[in-house]
Amino acid sequence: YSGKTGNQLLGEHIRKLTVKDRKSVPVVCQEETSVYDAICTMFLEDVGTLFVVKEGGVLVGVVSRKDLLKSSMGNQDLQSIPVGIVMSRMPNIITCSPDDTLLSAASKLISSQVDALPVVKEREGGDDGPEVIGRITKTTVTKAFVELGEGATV
């Protein structure tokens, strides 16, 4: 018997959860994608954040629901506004790596006050920026929380 309290064991369990094991599939668009098409993609894919990529899946930005709402105000032609002018752009994007803990990703979601983080992998020989390989959202973290709470064995 280890003599550890339930809380210590739960903490150890939580710190073992990794981004790699929990990430979901990234939903992406291009800078040239219209605001109109980005909104359609959000509905079709049932996500609140799109990652904006160029060739090779290289991360260039992030576009959120509110970015698209903002650009939709004022009756502009949404088909003619590219996502590139309303998105948040690299290098100001908060990302995480597959080997990070889910706890550290959750901590970034809170401290940066955003809903989603792209999971990225540095590309070999490329000083072009990292490649998007997944997505961590507040839902990812909530799911893990529910599983921990429901699981009898912690």
Q: Which of 29, 33, 64, 106 binds ligand ADP (CB under 6 A)?
A: 64
User: Is 120 strand, coil or helix?
Assistant: strand
The residue count for binding ligand ADP (CB under 6 A) is: 16
d(CA 76, CA 68) in angstroms, rounded, equals 12
CA 89 to centroid of chain Cα atoms? 14
Q: Which of 19, 52, 53, 116 binds ligand ADP (CB under 6 A)?
A: 116
Pairing of strands 116-121, 131-137: antiparallel
CB of 127 to ligand ADP, least distance (A): 21
Contacting ligand ADP within 71-100 (CB under 6 A): 88, 92-94
Q: Do residues 122 and 145 lie in contact, with contact meaning Cβ atoms separated by under 8 Å?
A: no
When asked if residue 138 is in the footprint of ligand ADP (CB under 6 A), the reply is no
When asked if residue 66 is in the footprint of ligand ADP (CB under 6 A), the reply is yes
Place of tokens 């150890």: 12
List contacts with ligand ADP (CB under 6 A).
48-49, 62-67, 88, 92-94, 114-117
